[in-house]
């Protein structure tokens, strides 16, 4: 079944232009449409336009059997139901420790490589900010490929390697 097209218009409200959209369900002019998942994400639904119906807050509430449903209430209820089904919420994810160890090993290796340079610059009286500028000018990336900042240099300098 094809979804109804959205109607978008501008409305002048309280001295401001406001983008107004028409709910395809009740045809009300609203500033915000909710994205209703036809097949809920907790049941395997996806964030794809083929699984989404845009509707106003009131219609979204009616779809879920509530008046004026707020997104936070839907989220809380969905989490409660997921928890009741035994879904593990929050906490460590599978392989998170392995990823943490790999990132730490990479940072340790990079610290071992640049720490003598940082220590030499510190002995020469440079501030952490000045050292960061020098490392960035020399195109020396951090362990994760980013730029150097004074706090980054300070953490690398304190790192036990």
pLDDT tens readout for residues 66-87 = 655 566 777 788 888 888 988 8
Q: What is the pLDDT of residue 66?
A: 67
Residue 75 contacts residue 83 (beta carbons within 8 Å): no
The partner residues of 54 in beta bridges, in order of sequence, read 35
Domain final residue pick, 84, 116, 140: 84
Domain final residue pick, 84, 104, 125: 84
Question: By C-alpha distance, which of 81, 158, 88, 111 is closest to 73?
Answer: 81
The answer to the question of residue 2 being in a domain is: no
The answer to the question of residue 23 being in a domain is: yes
Three-state DSSP at 154 gives helix
Residue 65 contacts residue 86 (beta carbons within 8 Å): no
pLDDT higher for 112 or 4? 112
Q: Is the pLDDT of residue 132 over 90?
A: yes
Range of the structural domain that residue 37 is part of: 7-84
* Residue 142 burial (CB count, 10 A): 21
Residue 94 binned pLDDT confidence (cut-offs 50, 70, 90): confident
**CA dihedral of 7, 13, 17, 22, whole degrees rounded to 10:** -10
Q: What is the number of domains present in the chain?
A: 2
The answer to the question of residue 146 being in a domain is: yes
Domain final residue pick, 84, 118, 146: 84
pTM of the model: 0.43
- 29-77 pLDDT, tens digit per residue, is 888 888 888 888 878 888 888 888 888 888 888 887 765 556 677 778 8
pLDDT higher for 127 or 91? 127
Rounded to the nearest 10 degrees, what angle do helices 96-123 and 128-137 cross at? 100
The answer to the question of residue 1 being in a domain is: no
Q: Picking from 11-20, 48-57, 58-67, 133-142, which range would have the lowest pLDDT averaged per residue?
A: 11-20
Residue 27 contacts residue 55 (beta carbons within 8 Å): no
Three-state DSSP at 39 gives coil
The answer to the question of residue 91 being in a domain is: no
* pLDDT, average across residues 120-139: 95
Q: What is the pLDDT of residue 17?
A: 52
* 64 and 120 co-located in one domain: no
The answer to the question of residue 64 being in a domain is: yes
* Residue found under tokens 């730029």: 147
The answer to the question of residue 100 being in a domain is: yes
Residue 4 binned pLDDT confidence (cut-offs 50, 70, 90): very low
Q: What is the pLDDT of residue 1?
A: 42
pLDDT higher for 135 or 11? 135
């Amino acid at each position: 079944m094809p979804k109804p097209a959205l109607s978008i218009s501008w409305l002048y409200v309280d001295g401001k232009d406001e983008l107004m959209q028409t709910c395809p369900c009740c045809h009300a002019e609203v500033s915000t449409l909710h994205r209703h998942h036809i097949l809920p994400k907790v049941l395997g639904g996806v964030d794809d336009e083929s699984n989404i119906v845009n509707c106003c807050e009131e219609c979204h509430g009616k779809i879920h059997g509530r008046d004026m449903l707020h997104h936070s209430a839907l989220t809380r209820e969905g989490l409660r139901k997921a928890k009741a089904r035994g879904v593990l919420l929050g906490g460590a994810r599978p392989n998170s420790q392995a990823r943490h160890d790999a990132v730490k090993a990479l940072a340790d290796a990079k610290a071992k490589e640049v720490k003598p340079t940082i220590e030499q610059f510190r002995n020469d009286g440079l501030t952490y900010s000045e050292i960061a500028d020098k490392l960035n000018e020399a195109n020396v990336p951090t362990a994760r490929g980013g730029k150097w900042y004074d706090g980054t240099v300070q953490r690398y300098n304190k790192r036990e390697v």
